[in-house]
Every structure is written in structure tokens, then in C-alpha cells.
Amino acid sequence: MMGLFAACWALRPLPLPALLPLPLVWAVVSWWIPPPAQTRLLALAGPAGPQALALNSSAVYVGVPGGGAVGGLVLQSHGSGWLPPAAAVVEPAALALFWGRQGAPPGYRRGQRGSAG
């Protein structure tokens, strides 16, 4: 998605009506991710599901300001034109980390269900 924003920067000046669908799509897609991610965490964690969800929330609360700090550094050192390319580099790196973790954790059995409490 950030690659599209970077392309918009390269195509400037871009009319506002052409740009407005991007944030809309970004917002919609962003809200699709948490429910399946939390469902997967609960399935993988079994009885430790609540702790897994708490750790996930903690990671989000650390990641958001961390991303803001990195963005601030890029903004301060290189200017606003480098924000979309920097994000376009970070996004595939995050996907590589996600996809790099293949399979289930040790001790996990397919079909195993965690207890809700």
C-alpha cells in the first residue's frame, strides 16, 4: 500500500479525487487484519490464548510509537518526500518476518482448541 503512496508522490501533482480512494482502501484493509490475527493467535496459543493476545496488544503499543519515531527520523533527516519510499521498504521487511515463521510452534497439534477461560 505504501508503494502506491510512493507512486503518487512520483506522479505529483495528483488531483485530490484520484488520491482519496487510497486512504479509504488503506483504512478498510487495516481493519480486516486484527480479527483473523487474533483468531490465529488464540488457536495457536491454546490455553495461553489470553496471554498471547495481551502480548500481541503490547507489541502493537510498542510498534506504533516505534514506527512514528522512525518516520520522524526519516522526516527530519531526509524530508517528507522520503516517507513513502521508507515505508515501502519497511512493509516488505515486516512481511518477510511474518512469512519467515513457517509452521506452528513446538507442541502445537492441528485442531487443538484453547479454552476460553
For 3-47, what is each residue's pLDDT tens digit? 777 777 777 887 888 888 888 888 888 788 888 888 988 988 889
Query: Taking 50 as the threshold, does the pLDDT of residue 117 lie above it?
Result: no
Residues 54 and 51: their CA atoms lie apart, in Å, by: 5
Backbone angles phi, psi at 43, to 5 degrees: -65, -40
Query: Taking 70 as the threshold, does the pLDDT of residue 94 lie above it?
Result: yes
Residues 74 and 82: their CA atoms lie apart, in Å, by: 7
Q: And the C-alpha cell for 12?
A: 505529483
Backbone angles phi, psi at 53, to 5 degrees: -65, -35
Query: Taking 70 as the threshold, does the pLDDT of residue 109 lie above it?
Result: no
Residue type, 90: V
**Local structure of 89: helix, strand or coil:** helix
Query: Taking 50 as the threshold, does the pLDDT of residue 74 lie above it?
Result: yes
For 56-66, what is each residue's pLDDT tens digit? 999 889 988 99
End-to-end CA distance of the chain: 38
Query: Taking 60 as the threshold, does the pLDDT of residue 111 lie above it?
Result: no
Query: Taking 80 as the threshold, does the pLDDT of residue 104 lie above it?
Result: no
CB 112 within 8 A of CB 46: yes
Residue with cell 515486516: 94
Higher pLDDT, 106 or 9: 9
